[in-house]
Chain A
Amino acid sequence: MRNILRPLGFVLLSALAVLSVPAASAQIRVGLVLERSGKDDKSFNASAYQGLKRAEKELGVMTKTVEAPDNAAYESLQRAFAEKKFDLIIAVGFHQLESVKKNAARFPGQKFLLVDEDAKAPNVRSVMFEEHEGSYLVGALAALHAPGGKVGFIGGMDVPLIRRFETGYAAGAKKINPKMQVLSNYLGVTGEAWNNPPKAKELALDQFNRGAEVIFVAAGNSGVGVFDAAAERKKLAIGVDSNQNWLKPGFILTSMLKRVDEAVFDSVKLYKEGKFSTGLIRYGVKSKGVDYSLDEHNARLVSETDKKQLEQLRTEIVKGKIKVPDYYLIQKK
């Protein structure tokens, strides 16, 4: 019963919120549909939201953001935007793939941007990130800070996307130290995995107990639990998607940036300039679409020699000298 009622009520409310937008004039209107972890996940969705806010400020477009209460709501939220004749509808997260496909076919006159999956539709611009390349770099950095030979990885929901982070990370760590041992845990196999900091903290404490010195976490809202554990044990953690260094200064070695903000901003900009293109666009280390973060919060942690080594690795990846294992390709075999 609860399973039926909860989504239904939220979809209705959210749809109402979308519909209540007054029909505007010639101004470009952009609708953003976020995942359930929301615009304040300090991570993936937060990055998309920041990109859109920047577009609103610098490009003068009208924007509207909604958050899905669960995975069943995406289709109706996107459709509500489409029916209101929004010019560009941005869907963030791989969960939205099927609903974008449906809505793109139903509303061929409008444009869609899908982040993290390839919709393969004529009016959809699909943006994918080479997470494994960025994870490779932070994996190398983790290994440089783990003289004991053990680093950890904690993933949110066990899905291919997160596996891709893991394989890249492990490869990077092993590049620095071939004997590196990578401990790996996942929070779960359902969407709850993104919203469970207490469990993430227990996982991290366990990995620290087993000797891990640095833990890379890719788990949405749950990530803060890992940062808590790092601060408690005076060890290091690595953040993900947005720059999370500020959350626990001194205990977050770096963050693996996934510039969703850039992807969103670029797309809106291209749309405004009439240069919007559809199809699959990839963001890798070459274009710094995936990167590691450096700021005042981790300046003391990352040394000049560390930086040099990482830049060396980046150049080798860009030149094709290093082939970072890609879980998506491994999976296909």
Chain B
Amino acid sequence: MLEAVFSNWILPTLRVSTPLIFAALGGMWCERSGVVQIGLEGIMLVGAFFAAVVTHSTQNPWWGLGAGMVAGLVLSLGYGLTVLKLKANQIVAGTAFNLFAMGVPPFLSMIWYDSTGSTPVIPSEALFRSAPLFLMVASVVLSAVFYHRSKFGLRVRFAGEHPKALESAGISVQGKRWQGIALSGMLAGLGGATLSIYLASSFSRNMSSGRGFIALAAVILGKWLPIPTVVACLLFGFTELLQIRLQGVVLWGERPVPVQWIQILPYLITIVVLAFAMGRTRAPKALGGVE
């Protein structure tokens, strides 16, 4: 019984939530440092692509995972350059990076594989079995510990909450923001990598399919705090799973519940949670501000 619950509900929920949790933790660090990060979707996509490419050519998922992380980091540093150095509007720049990221995989896969936006299938021996799950748990624990119990966490929070105070203590606000952006790139890149080399066996076009934006919603739902953010991701993952499980189930009468009603569930639950179970949320005070 317990084993069935684990393999039918808990494990699948964790699997579905893994890319969301990586990306959401990244988004949380970035936004806590005071920089809006709507580019998670694009970072995930690029991470997924490079992870698939490198895993395919080395036949080793760890190299792929590293490549996804580095690709995410590079893209996020580009974003940092535009918003921190060049002071571009963060929403506009983030949108631009998302658009840019959508175009990168088709362009490169055309050169490498003569294919518009998908990579060759990776044999199952070269895919992850469960390592990303443990890695995800480790990132959650590390994020929570560093956020609440370290100087680094405190300073990142100040960069987003009260940059002037941080500055008067002689610490560079920009420095903390660079670090926040870099963290978001690496973590969302990892999240993307888990899509292509853990949950699937190749990269296919636009395979992030909105997960970056769901992760962003989880950050807001989780009040920009590590554990609540992760819980929000798990909630989204669980509703997705519920949606899968409830399709075609007969609740009453003879006909199954129409699929449209079940498809509404994730949105419905989100609205209900946002409206009733949450209370007030407050974004980091200096979020999106230009210094």
- Cα A246 to Cα B117 with chains together (Å): 19
Given contacts A189-B263, A192-B210, A198 and B247 within 8 Å (CB-CB): no
Selected contact of A202 from candidates B12, B117, B210, B260, CB within 8 Å:
B12
- Cα A198 to Cα B16 with chains together (Å): 8
Given contacts A231-B124, A232-B124, A202 and B241 within 8 Å (CB-CB): yes
Interface stretch, picked from A1-9, A53-61, A81-89, A104-112, is: A1-9
Per-residue CB contact flags for chain A residues 160-185 toward chain B (1 = under 8 Å, else 0) read 00000000000000000000000111
**Chain A residues with Cβ under 8 A from B195's Cβ?**
198
B51-82 with Cβ < 8 A to chain A: none
Selected contact of B200 from candidates A37, A38, A224, A231, CB within 8 Å:
A224
Per-residue CB contact flags for chain B residues 10-54 toward chain A (1 = under 8 Å, else 0) read 001001100100000000000000000010000000000000000
Can you name the residue of chain A whose Cβ is closest to the Cβ of B206? A195
Contact B98 A2 (CB under 8 A): yes
**Chain A residues with Cβ under 8 A from B118's Cβ?**
38, 40-42, 221
- Cα A314 to Cα B11 with chains together (Å): 43
Shortest Cβ distance from A24 into chain B, in angstroms? 24
Residue B99 lies at the interface, judged by CB distance under 8 Å to chain A:
yes
Can you name the residue of chain A whose Cβ is closest to the Cβ of B129? A232
Can you name the residue of chain B whose Cβ is closest to the Cβ of A153? B248
- Cα A206 to Cα B240 with chains together (Å): 13
Shortest Cβ distance from B159 into chain A, in angstroms? 26
Residue A225 lies at the interface, judged by CB distance under 8 Å to chain B:
yes
Shortest Cβ distance from B31 into chain A, in angstroms? 17
Shortest Cβ distance from B64 into chain A, in angstroms? 16
- Cα A205 to Cα B12 with chains together (Å): 10
- Cα A5 to Cα B91 with chains together (Å): 12
- B: residues with CB less than 8 A from A are 8, 12, 15-16, 19, 38, 91, 95, 98-99, 102, 106, 115-118, 121, 124, 195, 199-202, 204-207, 209-210, 240-241, 244-245, 247-248, 259-260, 263
Known: A1-B95, A202-B16. 4 other contacts (CB 8 A): A197-B207, A198-B195, A203-B244, A221-B205
| Sampled A-B contacts (23; CB under 8 Å) | A1-B95, A2-B95, A38-B116, A38-B117, A38-B205, A40-B116, A40-B205, A42-B118, A69-B102, A184-B248, A185-B248, A189-B263, A195-B206, A197-B199, A197-B201, A202-B15, A202-B16, A206-B12, A209-B8, A222-B204, A224-B200, A224-B202, A231-B124
